[in-house]
A and B are shown apart, each in its own frame.
Chain A
Amino acid sequence: MATETHADAAGHGSVGLPQLDFATWDSQIFWLAVSLVVLFLLMSRIALPRIQTVIEDRADAIADDLDRAAEYKRKAEAAEKAYEAALAEARARAQKIAAEARAEVQRELAAAIARADAQIAERMAESERRIAEIRAGARESVRAVATEVAQAIVARLLPGVADDKAIARAVGARLDG
């Protein structure tokens, strides 16, 4: 076969190099032109537009996804902000309620203290009155005892002279004086 092809190449002419056997050029150039035209039509009509569409679609899809992701992120951030605002508001309200409760308790406490003070004052007044009564009662008893004692002494020392009223007056004057 080697010798055959050799003879073949030699038959077509010329030099040993098959590349320089110009008898084969017509066919090669013709079929090259056909091949290139066919390939160009296939590529430019079908393959390249299709691949371009696919790549663009993918780029669009990715861009869309990124947009959506950014949108979600923005929503999440807004939600976080709203949550924090709500939290701050709740905290403020809690503080206000606590302050109000404290004030209320304070007020009630003050009222209770005032009431207790009033009661204590009342009781003290009552006690003082009773002490005064007791003291008055005591003075009366002292007067009666003193008068009786004085009358008895006078009756023993000067029988028949005794003037009870004058004695009582004299004792009263001493006691009051």
Chain B
Amino acid sequence: MATEGSFIHPMDQFVIKPLFGGEEIGLFTITNSTLWMFIAIGAVSALTILGTRGRALVPSRVQSVAELLYGFVRNMVESVAGPGSMAYFPYIFTLFAFVLGCNMLGMIPGSFTPTSHFAVTVPLALAVFFTVTVIGFVKHGTHFLGFFWPKQAPLPLRPVLMVIEVISYLVRPVSHSIRLGANMMAGHAVLKVFAGLFAMVVAAGLGPLAILPMGMMIGMTALEFLVAFVQAYVFAILTCVYLHDALHMH
């Protein structure tokens, strides 16, 4: 990326570029984002398919990591989404693994983080939103609308609460997608800001002072690893919560 020169624009790392020349980005254009999505798929597949090809009773290290991931997501689906949710486990596992893969691979310096783009997180969140809504209506029919009618509230308050319920339901995909995208974007941008500061301090001949932005970068990197995991986890667990609402209506 734009590491030449003393000035680094913190947002340059998010620029989508066609990989095989050309300027225009059409529907099928393979970009750096495409590449890193595929690398994420490759990494997840390597872990869960190549890593388990031994099918060992006493697992290898890679296999136990794959089993750990499986058990982690399975527990989450079981405990959060409740009974009857196991049919959607592969779907949630795919989402979690994809987001986690993209987030973690984005921590490699010079890589690209597809999940830092709303063009990725918004469709992901909308897919969850529509899936869950469809499940709700298929499972409960029109009774699913009762989800928005708070029966335990006093009667005069119910219409007001219904409006609030509907709005909060419709806002779900927005918060769901912005949370993930903005977290990834902000973290990477902050890292770049400190990197730029480091370069500027060095360029200004204040060498020893560069330890300050350097230290900040190290700390932020550790924090970003945490954020990369936590945001994938939050995305998956919210999906489970929404699924639980659709399956069991509170």
Shortest Cβ gap from B137 to chain A (Å): 22
Chain A contact residue count (CB 8 A cutoff): 45
A21 partner residues in chain B, CB cutoff 8 A:
16
B98 touching A9, Cβ below 8 Å? no
Q: Name A17's closest neighbour in chain B (CB-CB).
A: B11
How many residues belonging to B are interface residues under a CB distance threshold of 8 Å?
60
Within 8 A of A (CB), among B66-100: 66-67, 70-71, 89-91, 93-95, 97-98
Of all chain B residues, which has the CB nearest A29? Answer: B123
B67 touches A54 (CB 8 A): yes
B28 adjacent to chain A (CB < 8 Å): yes
Question: Which among A16, A26, A30, A39 is the interface contact of B44 at CB below 8 angstroms?
Answer: A39
Chain A residues lying within 8 Å of B185, measured Cβ to Cβ, are 19
Nearest A residue to B69, CB-CB: A51
Question: Which residue from chain B places its CB closest to the CB of A37 in the assembled complex?
Answer: B94
The answer to whether B52 touches A51 (Cβ under 8 A) is: yes
The interface residues of chain A lying within 8 Å CB-to-CB of B15 are: 5, 8-9, 18
User: Is A61 interfacial (CB-CB < 8 Å)?
Assistant: yes
Question: In the complex where A2-B9, A39-B94, A40-B91 touch, is A52 in contact with B119 (Cβ < 8 A)?
Answer: no
Contact residues of A: prevailing secondary structure? helix
Residue numbers in A under 8 Å from B209 (CB-CB): none
Q: B67, A51: Cβ atoms under 8 Å?
A: yes
B132 at the binding interface (Cβ < 8 Å): no
Task: Flag if B7 contacts A35 (CB, 8 Å).
Answer: no
Report whether A48 and B16 are in contact in the complex, using a CB–CB cutoff of 8 Å.
no
- Type the 1/0 row for A1-22, where 1 means its CB is closer than 8 Å to any CB of B: 1100110110110001111110
Cβ of A57 < 8 Å from any Cβ of B? Answer: yes
CB distance from B216 to the nearest CB of A (A): 22
Q: In this complex, what residue of B is CB-closest to A20?
A: B118
User: Is residue A105 contacting chain B, with contact meaning CB distance below 8 A?
Assistant: no
Return chain A residues, CB-CB under 8 Å to B23.
8, 11
Contact with B along A50-65 (1 / 0, CB 8 A): 1111110110010000
Do A30 and B4 have beta carbons less than 8 Å apart?
Answer: no
Contact flag A2-B94 (CB < 8 Å), given A28-B119, A52-B70: no
Q: Does B30 contact A (CB under 8 A)?
A: yes
Set of chain A residues within 8 Å of B7, measured between Cβ atoms: 2
Complex interface bits, B142-162 against A, C-beta within 8 A gives 1, otherwise 0: 000000000000000000000
Can you sample 29 A-B contacts with CB below 8 Å? A1-B4, A5-B1, A5-B2, A5-B15, A16-B11, A18-B14, A19-B14, A19-B185, A24-B117, A27-B31, A28-B31, A28-B117, A30-B27, A31-B37, A32-B114, A32-B120, A32-B123, A36-B127, A42-B45, A42-B49, A43-B93, A44-B94, A48-B48, A48-B89, A48-B93, A50-B55, A51-B70, A53-B55, A61-B57
Closest 7 CB pairs of A and B: A2-B2, A47-B48, A44-B90, A28-B119, A24-B16, A18-B14, A31-B34
Interface residues, chain A, CB within 8 Å of chain B?
1-2, 5-6, 8-9, 11-12, 16-21, 23-33, 35-36, 38-40, 42-44, 46-48, 50-55, 57-58, 61
Q: Which residues does B use to contact A, with CB under 8 Å?
A: 1-2, 4-5, 7-9, 11-12, 14-17, 23, 25-31, 33-34, 37-38, 40-41, 44-45, 48-49, 52, 55-57, 59, 63, 66-67, 70-71, 89-91, 93-95, 97-98, 114, 116-120, 123-124, 127, 181, 185
